[in-house]
Structure 1
Amino acid sequence: MSDLAKETCIPCRGGVPPLPRDEAETLLRQVPGWRLNAEATQIARDFTFPDFGTTLAFVVHIGATAEGAGHHPDIAFGWGYANIALQTHAIGGLTRADFVLAAKIDALPLAKLSD
Protein backbone atom coordinates (compact mmCIF):
# COMPACT_ATOMS: atom_id res chain seq x y z
CA MET A 1 0.00 0.00 0.00
CA SER A 2 1.35 3.42 -0.91
CA ASP A 3 1.77 6.20 1.61
CA LEU A 4 -0.97 8.15 -0.18
CA ALA A 5 -3.43 5.29 0.42
CA LYS A 6 -2.86 5.65 4.17
CA GLU A 7 -3.89 9.32 4.15
CA THR A 8 -7.38 10.62 4.82
CA CYS A 9 -9.19 12.50 2.06
CA ILE A 10 -9.98 16.03 3.11
CA PRO A 11 -13.15 17.13 1.29
CA CYS A 12 -12.77 20.40 -0.58
CA ARG A 13 -15.65 22.84 -0.45
CA GLY A 14 -14.03 25.28 -2.86
CA GLY A 15 -12.05 28.44 -2.37
CA VAL A 16 -8.66 26.79 -2.89
CA PRO A 17 -6.66 26.78 -6.11
CA PRO A 18 -6.22 23.53 -8.03
CA LEU A 19 -2.82 21.88 -7.92
CA PRO A 20 -0.37 23.29 -10.45
CA ARG A 21 0.70 20.88 -13.20
CA ASP A 22 4.16 20.24 -11.71
CA GLU A 23 2.69 19.25 -8.34
CA ALA A 24 0.08 17.03 -10.03
CA GLU A 25 2.83 15.34 -12.06
CA THR A 26 4.84 14.68 -8.88
CA LEU A 27 1.84 13.08 -7.15
CA LEU A 28 0.98 11.14 -10.32
CA ARG A 29 4.24 9.22 -9.99
CA GLN A 30 2.87 7.75 -6.74
CA VAL A 31 -0.16 6.23 -8.50
CA PRO A 32 1.18 4.19 -11.44
CA GLY A 33 -1.34 3.50 -14.18
CA TRP A 34 -3.21 6.77 -13.69
CA ARG A 35 -2.91 9.46 -16.35
CA LEU A 36 -3.22 13.22 -16.21
CA ASN A 37 -5.41 14.95 -18.78
CA ALA A 38 -3.99 17.67 -21.05
CA GLU A 39 -5.31 20.50 -18.85
CA ALA A 40 -3.97 18.88 -15.64
CA THR A 41 -7.48 19.06 -14.17
CA GLN A 42 -8.28 15.34 -13.93
CA ILE A 43 -6.64 11.96 -13.47
CA ALA A 44 -8.07 8.75 -14.88
CA ARG A 45 -7.38 5.05 -15.05
CA ASP A 46 -8.93 2.17 -16.98
CA PHE A 47 -9.33 -1.22 -15.34
CA THR A 48 -10.18 -4.46 -17.14
CA PHE A 49 -11.67 -7.62 -15.68
CA PRO A 50 -12.61 -11.07 -16.93
CA ASP A 51 -16.38 -10.58 -16.57
CA PHE A 52 -19.22 -8.29 -15.60
CA GLY A 53 -19.62 -9.64 -12.06
CA THR A 54 -16.03 -8.87 -11.11
CA THR A 55 -16.29 -5.42 -12.65
CA LEU A 56 -19.50 -4.69 -10.75
CA ALA A 57 -17.97 -5.88 -7.47
CA PHE A 58 -14.98 -3.60 -8.07
CA VAL A 59 -17.23 -0.61 -8.76
CA VAL A 60 -19.25 -1.32 -5.60
CA HIS A 61 -16.01 -1.38 -3.58
CA ILE A 62 -14.93 1.91 -5.16
CA GLY A 63 -18.31 3.40 -4.27
CA ALA A 64 -17.98 2.36 -0.63
CA THR A 65 -14.40 3.63 -0.46
CA ALA A 66 -15.35 6.94 -2.06
CA GLU A 67 -18.37 7.41 0.19
CA GLY A 68 -16.22 6.75 3.25
CA ALA A 69 -13.69 9.29 2.02
CA GLY A 70 -16.31 11.90 1.13
CA HIS A 71 -14.73 12.20 -2.32
CA HIS A 72 -16.50 10.77 -5.35
CA PRO A 73 -15.10 9.69 -8.73
CA ASP A 74 -16.82 9.60 -12.08
CA ILE A 75 -17.23 5.93 -13.01
CA ALA A 76 -18.14 4.35 -16.34
CA PHE A 77 -18.33 0.57 -16.46
CA GLY A 78 -19.69 -2.38 -18.36
CA TRP A 79 -18.79 -5.95 -19.19
CA GLY A 80 -15.13 -6.34 -18.26
CA TYR A 81 -14.15 -2.69 -17.87
CA ALA A 82 -14.28 0.21 -15.43
CA ASN A 83 -13.07 3.70 -16.30
CA ILE A 84 -12.44 5.88 -13.26
CA ALA A 85 -11.90 9.64 -13.40
CA LEU A 86 -11.04 11.85 -10.43
CA GLN A 87 -11.32 15.60 -10.10
CA THR A 88 -12.28 17.90 -7.27
CA HIS A 89 -15.50 19.20 -8.80
CA ALA A 90 -15.81 22.12 -6.35
CA ILE A 91 -12.73 23.74 -7.90
CA GLY A 92 -12.72 22.21 -11.39
CA GLY A 93 -9.25 20.77 -10.91
CA LEU A 94 -7.10 18.50 -8.81
CA THR A 95 -6.33 18.45 -5.11
CA ARG A 96 -4.26 16.03 -3.09
CA ALA A 97 -7.51 14.20 -2.21
CA ASP A 98 -7.82 13.03 -5.83
CA PHE A 99 -4.46 11.28 -5.61
CA VAL A 100 -5.26 9.88 -2.16
CA LEU A 101 -8.47 8.34 -3.50
CA ALA A 102 -6.63 6.99 -6.56
CA ALA A 103 -4.16 5.25 -4.24
CA LYS A 104 -7.03 3.88 -2.13
CA ILE A 105 -8.68 2.51 -5.28
CA ASP A 106 -5.40 0.89 -6.35
CA ALA A 107 -5.16 -0.75 -2.90
CA LEU A 108 -8.54 -2.48 -3.28
CA PRO A 109 -8.06 -6.28 -3.60
CA LEU A 110 -9.99 -6.47 -6.89
CA ALA A 111 -7.77 -3.77 -8.46
CA LYS A 112 -4.97 -6.31 -8.46
CA LEU A 113 -7.06 -8.55 -10.76
CA SER A 114 -7.14 -5.88 -13.47
CA ASP A 115 -5.06 -6.64 -16.55
Structure 2
Amino acid sequence: MAQLTQQKCEACTKDSKPVTPDEIKQLKPQIPQWDLIDNQDEDRLQRSYKFPDFKTALEFTKKVGDAAESEGHHPSITTEYGKTTVTWWTHAISGLHRNDFIMAAKTDEIAQNF
Protein backbone atom coordinates (compact mmCIF):
# COMPACT_ATOMS: atom_id res chain seq x y z
CA MET A 1 0.00 0.00 0.00
CA ALA A 2 1.39 3.40 -0.98
CA GLN A 3 2.07 5.89 1.78
CA LEU A 4 -0.93 8.13 2.35
CA THR A 5 1.13 11.27 1.72
CA GLN A 6 1.83 10.07 -1.83
CA GLN A 7 -1.84 9.58 -2.70
CA LYS A 8 -4.37 12.03 -4.14
CA CYS A 9 -7.93 12.61 -3.02
CA GLU A 10 -10.72 11.45 -5.28
CA ALA A 11 -13.95 13.34 -5.85
CA CYS A 12 -16.69 12.12 -3.52
CA THR A 13 -20.45 12.10 -3.85
CA LYS A 14 -23.23 10.96 -1.55
CA ASP A 15 -22.81 7.52 -3.18
CA SER A 16 -19.12 7.22 -2.24
CA LYS A 17 -18.33 4.40 0.13
CA PRO A 18 -17.06 5.22 3.64
CA VAL A 19 -14.02 3.35 4.92
CA THR A 20 -14.76 0.05 6.62
CA PRO A 21 -13.54 -0.86 10.11
CA ASP A 22 -10.91 -3.12 8.49
CA GLU A 23 -9.70 -0.26 6.28
CA ILE A 24 -9.47 1.99 9.35
CA LYS A 25 -7.26 -0.66 11.03
CA GLN A 26 -4.95 -0.59 7.99
CA LEU A 27 -4.85 3.21 7.57
CA LYS A 28 -4.76 4.44 11.18
CA PRO A 29 -1.15 3.32 11.89
CA GLN A 30 0.02 5.86 9.27
CA ILE A 31 -1.57 8.66 11.33
CA PRO A 32 -1.09 7.43 14.92
CA GLN A 33 -1.54 10.80 16.64
CA TRP A 34 -4.98 11.42 15.14
CA ASP A 35 -8.06 10.67 17.21
CA LEU A 36 -11.13 8.95 15.79
CA ILE A 37 -14.03 10.95 17.17
CA ASP A 38 -17.79 10.80 16.91
CA ASN A 39 -19.43 14.16 16.33
CA GLN A 40 -23.22 14.03 16.09
CA ASP A 41 -23.08 10.43 14.78
CA GLU A 42 -20.41 11.26 12.19
CA ASP A 43 -16.98 9.65 12.44
CA ARG A 44 -14.16 12.15 12.08
CA LEU A 45 -10.39 12.39 12.44
CA GLN A 46 -9.08 15.13 14.72
CA ARG A 47 -5.71 16.33 15.92
CA SER A 48 -4.41 19.44 17.67
CA TYR A 49 -0.98 20.91 16.98
CA LYS A 50 0.84 23.20 19.41
CA PHE A 51 2.85 26.24 18.32
CA PRO A 52 4.82 28.93 20.15
CA ASP A 53 2.42 31.73 19.20
CA PHE A 54 -0.62 32.76 17.19
CA LYS A 55 1.38 33.85 14.15
CA THR A 56 2.90 30.38 13.74
CA ALA A 57 -0.46 28.67 14.29
CA LEU A 58 -1.95 30.95 11.63
CA GLU A 59 0.86 30.17 9.16
CA PHE A 60 0.26 26.46 9.70
CA THR A 61 -3.49 26.98 9.19
CA LYS A 62 -2.80 28.73 5.89
CA LYS A 63 -0.58 25.88 4.65
CA VAL A 64 -3.20 23.28 5.57
CA GLY A 65 -5.83 25.39 3.81
CA ASP A 66 -3.66 25.59 0.68
CA ALA A 67 -3.20 21.80 0.68
CA ALA A 68 -6.94 21.30 1.18
CA GLU A 69 -7.75 23.59 -1.70
CA SER A 70 -5.30 21.83 -4.03
CA GLU A 71 -6.85 18.44 -3.18
CA GLY A 72 -10.45 19.70 -3.27
CA HIS A 73 -11.08 18.33 0.23
CA HIS A 74 -11.67 20.75 3.09
CA PRO A 75 -11.40 20.34 6.88
CA SER A 76 -12.69 22.20 9.86
CA ILE A 77 -9.79 24.21 11.29
CA THR A 78 -9.79 26.06 14.60
CA THR A 79 -6.83 28.38 15.15
CA GLU A 80 -6.07 29.73 18.62
CA TYR A 81 -3.08 31.26 20.33
CA GLY A 82 -0.42 28.55 20.07
CA LYS A 83 -2.75 25.83 18.86
CA THR A 84 -4.50 24.65 15.71
CA THR A 85 -7.06 21.85 15.70
CA VAL A 86 -7.80 20.15 12.38
CA THR A 87 -10.80 17.88 11.81
CA TRP A 88 -11.20 15.81 8.67
CA TRP A 89 -14.35 14.03 7.49
CA THR A 90 -16.20 13.75 4.22
CA HIS A 91 -19.26 15.95 4.23
CA ALA A 92 -20.89 14.17 1.25
CA ILE A 93 -21.09 10.87 3.17
CA SER A 94 -21.26 12.29 6.70
CA GLY A 95 -18.33 10.13 7.75
CA LEU A 96 -14.85 8.95 6.93
CA HIS A 97 -13.47 8.27 3.47
CA ARG A 98 -9.94 7.33 2.44
CA ASN A 99 -9.49 11.01 1.50
CA ASP A 100 -9.65 11.96 5.17
CA PHE A 101 -6.74 9.66 6.01
CA ILE A 102 -4.77 11.00 3.05
CA MET A 103 -5.29 14.58 4.19
CA ALA A 104 -4.54 13.79 7.83
CA ALA A 105 -1.19 12.33 6.73
CA LYS A 106 -0.52 15.38 4.55
CA THR A 107 -1.39 17.64 7.49
CA ASP A 108 1.19 15.81 9.62
CA GLU A 109 3.72 16.27 6.83
CA ILE A 110 3.04 20.03 6.78
CA ALA A 111 3.44 20.18 10.57
CA GLN A 112 6.96 18.70 10.32
CA ASN A 113 8.10 22.01 8.79
CA PHE A 114 7.03 24.02 11.86
TM over 0.5: yes
Provide the residue aligned with 2:107 in structure 1: 105
Equivalent-residue separation in structure 1 for 2:20 and 2:43 (angstroms)? 9
Q: How many residues align?
A: 111
Q: Which residue of 1 aligns with 2:28?
A: 28
The answer to whether 1:7 aligns with 2:7 is yes
> Normalised by the size of structure 1, how large is the TM-score?
0.88
Structure 1 residue ranges without an equivalent (≥5): none
Per the alignment, residue 73 of structure 2 pairs with 71
Sequence identity of aligned pairs in percent? 38
| Cα deviation 1:20-53 (Å, max 9, x = unaligned) | 2232232111112111114671111010000001
TM-score, structure 2 as length reference:
0.89
Verify the 8 A CA contact 2:45 2:87 in the aligned structure 1. Answer: yes
What are the ranges of 5 or more consecutive residues in structure 2 without an aligned counterpart? none
Moved over 4 A (4+): none
Higher strand share: 2
Q: Does the 8 A contact of 1:52 with 1:78 survive in 2?
A: yes
AA in 1 matched with 2:66: A
Aligned-partner SS, 2:74: coil
